Structure 1
C-alpha cells in the first residue's frame, strides 16, 4: 500500500472513532436532565413585599438541586409560571453544580390584588398552576460537550414540582 491509502484509512478510522465516542457520550448523558430534575427538593418558603390594601405579595419558594454524578454540570432553566392565564413569574437561571454538591435557587411568584381576588374568589380558570419552559443540563463526557433537556408545555405545576403540594393543597 502506498502512503496516500494508509493516510485515508487512518483518517477514516479516526473519524469513525470520534463519531462513536460522541454517540457514546450522548447516550450516557441522555437521561441526565431527568435525573438532576428529580433531585429538586423544597427547602423553604416565605412571603415578601406583602401589602394589605390593595392586597399583593410575593411568594418566594426556595428549592435545592443536587448533582449526584461525578461530573461538573451546568444547569439552565427558563420557566414561566401561570395561575390560569395570569403570568406569575419567570425563572431564567444558570447555575454550576459541582459533583456531589447541592445548590439552592428561588422561584418568586408575584400576586397582585387582581389575581388574588380571582384565586380566592373561586374562579376555576385561575385555580390551576401551570408551568411552561425548559430545564437543561450541560456537561462534558470524555472530551465531548453534551446536553440533555426537559421541556414543559402547559403542564400542571403540582405534577412537575410536587413540593408545591404543601402550599396549594386544599385538603
Structure 2
C-alpha cells in the first residue's frame, strides 16, 4: 500500500479473497489458506499504518477494503500535495496531513541489495507523504517527515501516537 498504491492493494486483496475462499471450500488446502490469510492480514495492517485513513478523521474500519465488487474512497492523484513538512523529520510529527486531502499512503525509500525493483522513489518537492522514521532514506525530501503508525516509537513511526 506504499507510494500511493492503495487501489492496487485493494485489487490484490480482492483477488486473494477469491483465492482464499476457493482454497478452503474447494481445495481444502488449509496450510496454503493460512499463508494467504496471513499475507492478506499484513496488507490490511499496512493500510491502516501506512495511509492517511486515520489522519483524515476516519474512526471506523474501511469495510469495503479487499472485498470483491466493492470500491474504496478516491485516492490522491500524482499532482496532489498531501503533506506538509514536519518540524522534526526524524521524530514525531503532528498535523502534517493537509486537511481535506484524498486518501494517500507514504513513500518508503531504502537502499539494500535488490530493493531497486521494489522501491518507488518519493517525488521531489511534490508535497507527498513519506513513511518517515530513521529507516526511511527519503525522509528529508519535501514534505519532510512521514505518516507511519506501525510502531509506538517516534523514531520509527512519526505518527506513533495513532498506533493503537
With the length of structure 2 as denominator, give the TM-score of the two structures: 0.23
Structure having the higher helix fraction is: 1
Structure having the higher strand fraction is: 1
- Which one has the largest radius of gyration? 1
